[in-house]
């Protein structure tokens, strides 16, 4: 489990840009598949093409500016890293236990409440998520309250492994046990959420924090087991995603209208192949998550003003709901950007539960000129935090980067993230600046 090389103390292009590589790759792939992929989609306007390209380019430029040129890493010894980040490491044991118990409590709650089981997911897929939402208990609230510190625990663990921080072996089992329970939670509620998330967590630890190269991961013997598990896990995840796509749409599987929706849009004749039509539809429905949302972006761009300022939605829907628990009911309302976006969708007859994506939601938040500028500054902020982590091994900056990296993984929906993302970001900001003061004295 421990890191036995010095890559943690090297600045490489791959390591420095890793926090945004998946985000950029996903949207380039999504854009190409939208235009030449397996499904025919209505064309988007020229203005939307320009808006998307400008937003992405400005984000990349901003990240490059914030990151700066390759610099000398000023922290070179494990003991130095531990001393600089002592305020974080003293919480290590507590955070691991809190995260593990919170995740375990969620599973116990799902099973005891009758709202989740593997049998129900397999045999009653359509109804599992509804039953889960209707059967939340006090244990649900308590467990999620504990799990909100998860990204703090993961970040400290990443740093500990990368620097061979002395810790009991059971810490490794608890972290990977938590990953396993997250995947089990997804199965219990017929969701896909945590499967790929867990892969991205491990990838971040290996490539960004430990500084392993992609070639090193492919050829080094010490990663053989991880490679084997990763490939098996990805194959299982894809099969599970297709299963959920087929059976979550109705008691008998995919509804007929879904089948008829995809058949006329089959660009390359998949339905002509000798496969079950419902399985092809399930595959295309899973595939379509990568290319949906552009119609919302197109319409939101048409409706938006040049500038706006409604940033509250950046806190994320779940974070806002937790805040509203202490607000009198008559004052509770969704973020202004969500209200505006939903009014646009309603006026156009669009589905209110669709995913406008990060690019769509940025428009009611900041306007069609303000949104690309926001992505520029957002990129600069992420790049700056990445640079602080790489040069000074600052665990607060690591927490901010890791949380934003994970948020960007869900940018097909929005940019707000979950409660555990927000906790890691705000605590990470405080720790980053406190640790910076100590670093000046020790480096």
Question: Is pLDDT above 50 for 251?
Answer: no
pLDDT (0 to 100) of residue 122: 52
Burial 236-260 (b: 16+ CB within 10 A, else e): ebeebbbbbbbbbbeeebbeeebbe
Distance CA 56, CA 69 (A): 20
Distance CA 145, CA 139 (A): 10
- Residue 147 CB coordination number (10 Å): 27
Average pLDDT over every residue of 348-372: 92
Q: Do 58 and 375 touch, CB atoms closer than 8 A?
A: yes
Distance CA 165, CA 167 (A): 6
Average pLDDT over every residue of 135-162: 87
Q: Which helix (H) or strand (E) holds 434?
A: helix 419-442
For the CA atoms of the chain, what is the radius of gyration?
Answer: 22
**Residues 320-332: tens digit of each pLDDT:** 776 776 777 777 7
Distance CA 242, CA 192 (A): 10
pLDDT (0 to 100) of residue 193: 67
pLDDT (0 to 100) of residue 363: 97
Residue 441: which pLDDT band, with cuts at 50, 70 and 90? low
pLDDT (0 to 100) of residue 203: 94
Task: Give the CA-trace dihedral at 242, 248, 252, 253, to 10 degrees.
Answer: -30
pLDDT (0 to 100) of residue 135: 55
DSSP SS3 for 307: coil
Average pLDDT over every residue of 271-280: 82
For the ranges 5-9, 42-46, 267-271, 399-403, the lowest mean pLDDT is seen at 5-9
For the ranges 16-30, 50-64, 160-174, 404-418, the lowest mean pLDDT is seen at 404-418
**Residues 278-289: tens digit of each pLDDT:** 778 878 887 888
Average pLDDT over every residue of 122-146: 62
Write down the mean pLDDT value for the chain. 85
**Residues 4-29: tens digit of each pLDDT:** 557 888 889 999 999 999 999 999 99
**Residues 48-102: tens digit of each pLDDT:** 999 999 999 999 999 999 998 877 778 888 998 999 999 999 999 999 999 999 9
Burial 153-191 (b: 16+ CB within 10 A, else e): bbbbbbbbbbbebebeeebbebbeebbebbbbbbbbbbb
What is the percent of the chain with per-residue pLDDT over 70, rounded to a whole number? 87
- Residue 230 CB coordination number (10 Å): 15
Helices (H) and strands (E) in the chain, counts: 21, 0
Q: Do 295 and 42 touch, CB atoms closer than 8 A?
A: yes
Distance CA 100, CA 107 (A): 11
Question: Is pLDDT above 70 for 433?
Answer: yes
C-alpha of 358 from chain center: 12
Residue 265: which pLDDT band, with cuts at 50, 70 and 90? confident
> What is each CA distance from 229 to 157, 203, 215, 358, in whole angstroms?
20, 13, 18, 32
Distance CA 322, CA 138 (A): 14
What is the number of residues in the chain?
A: 443
Question: Is pLDDT above 90 for 223?
Answer: no
């Amino acid at each position: 489990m421990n890191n036995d090389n010095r890559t943690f103390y090297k600045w490489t292009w791959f390591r420095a840009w890793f926090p945004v590589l998946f985000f950029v790759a996903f949207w380039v792939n999504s854009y190409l598949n939208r235009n030449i992929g397996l499904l025919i989609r209505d064309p988007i306007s020229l203005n939307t093409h320009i808006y998307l390209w400008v937003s992405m380019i400005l984000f990349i430029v901003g990240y490059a500016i914030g990151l700066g040129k390759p610099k000398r890493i000023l922290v070179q010894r494990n003991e130095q890293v531990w001393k600089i980040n002592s305020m974080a490491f003293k919480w290590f044991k507590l955070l691991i236990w809190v995260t593990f118990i919170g995740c375990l409590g969620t599973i116990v709650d799902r099973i005891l409440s009758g709202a989740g089981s593997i049998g129900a997911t397999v045999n009653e897929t359509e109804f599992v998520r509804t039953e889960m939402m209707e059967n939340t208990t006090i244990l649900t609230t308590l467990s999620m309250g504990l799990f909100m510190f998860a990204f703090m625990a993961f970040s400290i663990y990443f740093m500990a492994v990368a620097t061979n921080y002395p810790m009991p072996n059971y810490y490794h089992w608890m972290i990977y046990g938590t990953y396993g329970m997250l995947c089990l939670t997804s199965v219990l509620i017929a969701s896909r959420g945590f499967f790929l998330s867990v892969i991205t967590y491990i990838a971040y630890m290996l490539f960004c924090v430990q500084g392993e190269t992609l070639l090193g991961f492919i050829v080094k013997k010490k990663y053989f087991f991880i490679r084997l598990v990763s490939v098996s896990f990805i194959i299982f995840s894809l099969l599970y995603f297709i299963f959920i796509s087929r059976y979550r749409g109705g008691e008998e599987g995919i509804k007929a209208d879904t089948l008829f929706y995809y058949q006329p849009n089959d660009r390359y004749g998949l339905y002509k192949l000798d496969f079950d039509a419902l399985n092809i539809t399930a595959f295309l429905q899973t595939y379509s998550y990568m290319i949906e949302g552009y119609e919302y972006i197109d319409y939101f761009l048409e409706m938006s003003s040049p500038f706006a300022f409604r940033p509250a939605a950046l806190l994320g829907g779940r974070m806002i709901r937790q805040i509203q628990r202490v607000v009198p009911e008559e004052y509770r309302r969704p973020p202004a950007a969500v209200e505006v976006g939903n009014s646009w969708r309603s006026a156009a007859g669009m589905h209110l539960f669709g995913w406008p994506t990060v690019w769509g939601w940025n428009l009611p938040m900041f306007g069609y000129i303000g949104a690309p500028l926001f992505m520029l500054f957002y990129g600069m902020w992420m790049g700056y935090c990445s640079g602080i982590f790489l040069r000074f091994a600052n665990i607060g900056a690591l927490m901010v980067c890791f949380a934003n990296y994970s948020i960007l993984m869900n940018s097909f929906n929005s940019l707000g993230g979950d409660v555990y993302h927000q906790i890691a970001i705000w605590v990470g900001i405080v720790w980053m600046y406190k640790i910076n003061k100590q670093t000046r004295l020790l480096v």
